[in-house]
Amino acid sequence: MKDIQQHMQAVLERMVDEGRERGVQLAAYHEGELIVDASAGIADRRTGRAVNGRTLFPVFSTTKGIASTVLHHVMERQGIDYDLRIAELWPEFGANGKERATIRHALSHTTGIPHMPDGIGLAEVVDWDRMAAETAKLVPQWPPGERMEYHAITFGWIVGEIARRLDGRPFARILEEDICDPLGIRDELFVGIPDEADARVAYLEEPGFDPAAFPAAGLQAIPAWVTPLADWMNRPDARRACVPASNGIMSAKAIAKHYAALLPDGADGIRLLPESRIRLATALQDLPSQEPQYRALGYHIGSPGSIMGGSPSAFGHGGYGGSIGFADPDHRLAIAYVNNLYTPQSAGTAIIHELKNALGIAIE
């Protein structure tokens, strides 16, 4: 396994040297043990600060997988069923035709409210109570459960507020106490960083950003005023907010350890959820009336051509710009990759394929 660490370190350095990445981290757990913890490149081109194992990266929707684990953990502890109506916990959410929306709908992106509320901007999006209230008032574009459409940002307030209503603690505190503390990653995984962590955060670059991809009119899952997303996550207020769909800031090792702790081997002997809950959380939720999206309850699952592999037992979530974290139960493997240069030349897929090759795992 030492050879794999050295090999993957060299691969990351080569990708940086070729200009495909600026700063990167890769981590992998195999059979419950950390086998790769590699980093390379520059965390901040403005200062020349190098990436190391302590560097934190904004990971956008990779955060969704972590947020989903938080809710599954709360539900497991309290014996909650996924078909519980959200309005039974959060009465305000039942407004405007959402009274039958369930936790299953929330986790599977079928509540009908992928669009952001009107009349808000960067100042409001960092205010949890305001955004939870505005999300609860949204009018669904279709009856909950009838259509699956990616809830790019609203997912976080829906899932996060359900967790808070069930548990009583704010989402960030549940994450810290129930996920990070048992795994020993309190200072490596955040949804809303403390001030002292800011100096460790990688600066994002998105040289090819195209504003035409984010129209300024109509219902928008990602509104134009929050773009470029890389610029947004370079802002101090965005880094300190709690937006569980999209503003997680973490290391690759912390993400990989989280997914390893969802596998039967655990991570350093620690498991976050029992196998019975994992089976429920990772069951396919696709709708027969739509093209396959390979979604489970808060996670993507393996599919043909997926970076996670073709096995439907694999589960995880990727994020804007190229980050990803996932678990592969068939191979007793958990992998995470993070970066800070967002271009079509991102090397994440090539790097993960190289890791799988080194482990003798066929690319599907």
Residue 167 burial (10 A CB sphere; 0-12, 13-18, 19+): buried
Tell me if residue 198 falls in helix, strand or coil.
helix
Beta bridge partners of 25: 39, 338
Token pair for 189: 């995984």
* 163: pLDDT strictly greater than 60: yes
Residue 2 pLDDT level (bands cut at 50, 70, 90):
low
How far apart, in Å, are the Cα atoms of 328 and each of 26, 281, 303, 340? 16, 14, 12, 25
- The angle at the Cα of 352, spanning 193 to 6, to the nearest 5 degrees, equals 90
**How confident is the model over 308-343, as pLDDT tens digits?**
999 999 999 999 999 999 999 999 999 999 999 999
* 348: pLDDT strictly greater than 80: yes
Residue 9 pLDDT level (bands cut at 50, 70, 90):
very high
Predicted pLDDT at 215: 78
- DSSP state at residue 213: G
Options 2.60.40.10, 1.10.3210.10, 3.30.300.30, 3.40.710.10; CATH for 2-207+227-358 is 3.40.710.10
3-state helix, strand, coil in the chain (%, to 5): 40, 15, 45
Predicted pLDDT at 318: 98
Q: What is the pTM of this model?
A: 0.97
* 193: pLDDT strictly greater than 80: yes
- Residue 184 and residue 287: Cα distance in Å, rounded? 38
What residues does each domain of the chain span? 2-207+227-358
CB 202 within 8 Å of CB 215: no
